[in-house]
Amino acid sequence: MSKIHSTAEVDKTANIGKNTKIWHYSQIRENVVIGNNCIIGKNVYIDFGVKIGNNCKIQNNACIYHGTKIESGVFVGPGCIITNDKNPRAINEDCSLKMNNDWKVGEVLIKTGASLGAGSIILPDVTIGEYAMIGAGSVVTKNVSNYSLVFGSPASVRGIVDRNGNKK
C-alpha cells in the first residue's frame, strides 16, 4: 500500500504505484504516473504528464517538468531540476502572455539506473543513458551515453562508471 503524507497534493488523475511513498508538501500534478516502490521526498514538484518507473528515488526539492520520462531505478538528487523549455519567455513578441500553444515542450528521457546528483540541472531535448552518473551541480546540455560519468557546467564526460556508480 502506498503512503501519501497528509500535506502532499496528489491530483486525482495521478496513478501512484504500490508501496510508493510521497512525503511532506510534495505536489503531483494531473496524469502523472509513478511506478511501484518509489520514494518521493519532501517538497518535490512533479508536473503534469510526467512518467516515472519503478524503484526510483526522487529526493527533496526536486522539480520535474512535463515532457520528462524517467525509467526504473533512477536516483534524482536533492534540488535537481529537469527543465522543458530551451527558449523560456513569459510573453510573445507582441507582449501577450505566452500560452501552452506558444512554445514547444522539450523532452527529457532518463534511462534505467541513472543517477542525477544534487543540484544538477538537465536541459530539454536530452537523454541520460543507462546507469550514467551526473555530478552534483552539473548543467547537462547534451545527451549522456550509458555508464558515463559527467560533471561540470556545461557537463562533460570525465569517466565511466559501473552499475554501482564506481568509477572504472
In a domain, 167, yes or no: no
Q: Band the pLDDT of 1: cuts 50, 70, 90.
A: confident
User: For 68-86, what is each residue's pLDDT tens digit?
Assistant: 999 999 999 999 999 999 9
In a domain, 166, yes or no: no
**Nearest in space to 146 (alpha carbons), one of 162, 124, 125, 166:** 162
* Number of domain units in the chain: 1
The predicted model scores a pTM of 0.96
35, 20 Cβ separation under 8 angstroms: yes
Other CB atoms within 10 A of residue 67 CB? 21
- What is the domain range of residue 56? 3-160
CATH of the domain at 67: 2.160.10.10
Q: What is the pLDDT of residue 10?
A: 98
